Amino acid sequence: MNNAEERIVAKGLSHPGPLLIVKKKLPEITAQSLRVIVTGREAADGLAAFFEGRSASVSVDRTGDDYHVVVDLSNLEDTGDE
């Protein structure tokens, strides 16, 4: 099933917890975009850096106490450095 957006909620975890969750689930995602919801700015920045390093378009929005990291997966490059 190819949904427009996959969502991962990783609130309450400090960096690198959300990144480890995303790396584990990434091979299973078939959606065109990914939204990862995290609590801390450091976790959001870590996710953004990970995806930007793989040529993906990333935006980070703050909603209340949470950060939403939205990734366009259409140009994601697999660097093989798991």
43-64 burial: b if 16+ Cβ within 10 Å, else e:
bbebbbebbeebebebebeeee
Instruction: Check residues 37 and 79 and name the one with the higher pLDDT.
Output: 37
Q: What does the domain layout of the chain look like in residue ranges?
A: 5-75
Strand partners, 36: 8, 69
16-33 residue pLDDT tens: 999 999 999 999 999 999
| CATH, range 5-75 | 3.30.110.40
Please give the pLDDT value at position 1: 45
Backbone φ and ψ for 79, nearest 5 degrees, come out as -90, -10
Residue 82 has pLDDT above 60, yes or no: no
Q: What's the first-to-final CA gap in the chain, in angstroms? A: 25
Give 78's pLDDT tier (boundaries 50, 70, 90): confident
